[in-house]
Amino acid sequence: MGYKISVREFLENRNMDLEDFYSVFFSGLKRINRKLNLFVVMEKPGRASASGMLSGLPVSVKDCICVKGMQSAAGSRILEGYRPPFDATAVRRVKDSGGVIIGKTNQDEFGFGTFSVNSGFGIPKNPIDPSRTCGGSSGGAAGTAAALEYPHIALAESTGGSISCPASFCGVVGLTPTYGLVSRYGLIDYANSLDKIGAIGKRVYDVALMLSVIAGHDSRDFTSLDIKPEKYLNSLDAGVKGMRIGVPKEYFGEGVEKAVAECVWKGIKELENSGVVYEEISLPCTEHAIPVYYIIAAAEASTNLAKFCGMRYGASEPVSGSFNEYFSKVRSKYFGEEAKRRILLGTYARMAGYRDQYYLKAMKARTLIINEFKKAFKKFDALVAPTMPVIAPKFSEIKRMEPLQQYMMDILTVAPNLAGIPMLSVPCGKVKGMPVGMHIMGNYLEEKKILRIGKAAEGLE
Ligand code: GLN
């Protein structure tokens, strides 16, 4: 019924076999990559098979998700040359379902950023307008989904919006699942209590398919939810008649470009024509989301990065001096500026004497944010808002932004990420020729509902 991503169909329509397909696929991909720098590593598979749920489908993997034998550096020079001896569980499941890993996509170093300009491996560019960012931190993943005219799905990761933001800026679909639904085993951590592996693709169907493959309990991740995943593809076309949607007014407030807000409102009205009932609501804790997120995320990141000391993984230097001297030398040389900033910020927030004031306070405020969402979902099936307050900025504009101004760009994505609820960004129109994303946020484990709404919205664009 309707659209389906299928390599087999693609081959049949073009009278090709899988080997021919991969040859044209990789020459196309290389051409795109020369212009846009979306990949850190690209690898043509030896042998692909067209069986299983993904049956020969090309899958790109964000650089922070480990692929056995393939450099997995999380966008950081400090991990250059690190080839994990194992697959992340999500990657393992993709392979077991017949998916073919084509390489590692570019990202902000360890996920620290919103525009992918903090990558240690050059900056990926937006395929729609290369003078603009793809968004971040999964910029390479979304850029690839937008640029490729072949079947492909991207595995990506979000801590505070890194799937939704680039999906929105590149005009593709990004799904961030409920925290714990997809195993984090083999993910190079940014902030453990926030990190989620999800998917980016051209269509809602694509990300629902990928979720069907990667969701489910994994005993190797102790935060993995012990539940049976649902059949995410089953009710995609069930429609939205009678569904109740909350539209939070704070998500259309200061800092959100008028044209972007109008575009999303148009999408909401169209959903109304399809049978959705909407109501404007207020989520007053939204104003605290940025400081709360940046304190918690940086605190966790600063401890996670301690293991990169030039001895175990990736980059090293000739050993000299005391451990502290060696450790400092390697870290000063190979960490980027933003990683250093986050280490300082996070360490400060956790320090004896400041811990109560910052970290513990942020944890309490996080609970308030969570409770606010829980309360809203007692009444609504989903919440709808713009994904990002702006269209993809130009690199020249990003250069002029202070770090704090860059952090403020996450104002609409950090709260749902702090709560760990599932979210889906779907394209809902254009402003100045650049795509605008509509963010559909759902209650815990209600991926099916947001996918259904997303599917209805996608049909309307
Ligand atoms: N932009 C946010 C940050 O810099 C979110 C990034 C992410 O989700 N990895 O932390």
Measure CA 278 to chain center. Answer: 27
Break the chain into its structural domains and give their ranges. 1-461
* pLDDT, one tens digit for every residue, the chain (461 residues): 467 888 988 999 999 998 999 999 999 999 999 999 999 999 987 777 778 899 899 999 999 999 999 999 999 999 999 999 999 999 999 999 999 999 999 999 999 999 999 999 999 999 999 999 999 999 999 999 999 999 999 999 999 999 999 999 999 999 999 999 999 999 999 999 999 999 999 999 999 999 999 999 999 999 999 999 899 999 999 999 999 999 999 999 989 999 999 999 999 999 999 999 999 999 999 999 999 999 999 999 999 999 999 988 889 999 999 999 999 999 999 999 999 999 999 999 999 888 999 999 999 999 999 999 999 999 999 999 999 999 999 999 999 999 999 999 999 999 999 999 999 999 999 999 999 999 999 999 999 999 999 999 996 65
Q: How far apart are CA 266 and CA 251, in angstroms?
A: 15
CA distances from 211 to 187, 198, 204, 255 (A): 16, 7, 11, 33
Q: How far apart are CA 58 and CA 25, in angstroms?
A: 9
Residues for the chain: how many in total? Answer: 461
CATH superfamily of 1-461: Amidase signature (AS) domain (3.90.1300.10)
99 φ, ψ to 5°? -75, 155
Q: DSSP letter at 238?
A: S
Q: DSSP letter at 311?
A: S
Structure tokens at 120: 């240690």
Residue 176 CB–ligand 1 contact under 6 Å: no
Predicted TM-score (pTM) of this structure? 0.97
Residue 162 CB–ligand 1 contact under 6 Å: yes
Residue 111 CB–ligand 1 contact under 6 Å: yes
The atom of ligand 1 lying closest to the CA of 417 is 8
DSSP-derived secondary structure for 7-51: HHHHHHHHT--HHHHHHHHHHHHHHHHHHH--EEEE---S-----
Beta partners for residue 101, in sequence order: 59
The atom of ligand 1 lying closest to the CA of 163 is 8
451 φ, ψ to 5°? -65, -40
pLDDT, residue 362, reads 97
Q: Which of 137, 164, 212, 302 is catalytic?
A: 137
H or E, element range at 154: strand 153-158
Reduced 3-state DSSP string for 324-380: HHHHHHHHHHHCCHHHHHHHHHHHHHHCCCCCHHHHHHHHHHHHHHHHHHHHHHHHC
| Nearest residue to 347 via CA among 303, 404, 309, 293 | 303
The atom of ligand 1 lying closest to the CA of 409 is 1
Residue 113 CB–ligand 1 contact under 6 Å: yes
CA–centroid distance, 138 to ligand 1, in Å, is: 9
The angle, 0 to 180 degrees and rounded to 10, between the axes of the packed helices 289-304 and 337-350 is 100
Task: Name the residue with the closest Cα to ligand 1, atom 4.
Answer: 113
pLDDT, residue 44, reads 83
H or E, element range at 273: helix 258-273
Q: How far apart are CA 346 and CA 351, in angstroms?
A: 9
User: Who's near 338: CB < 8 A, 6+ residues apart?
Assistant: 108, 109, 112, 113, 118, 403
Q: Is the dihedral of CA 292, 295, 296, 297 positive or negative?
A: positive
Classify strands 39-42 and 58-62 as parallel, antiparallel or unpaired: unpaired
Asked if 137 is an active-site residue, the reply is yes
CA–centroid distance, 293 to ligand 1, in Å, is: 9
- The per-residue pLDDT for range 317-354, each reduced to its tens digit, is 999 999 999 999 999 999 999 999 999 999 999 998 88
The atom of ligand 1 lying closest to the CA of 294 is 10
Residue 106 CB–ligand 1 contact under 6 Å: no
Q: Which of 162, 168, 183, 425 is catalytic?
A: 162
Q: Which of 60, 62, 116, 425 is catalytic?
A: 62
Is residue 100 classed as helix, strand or coil in its secondary structure? strand
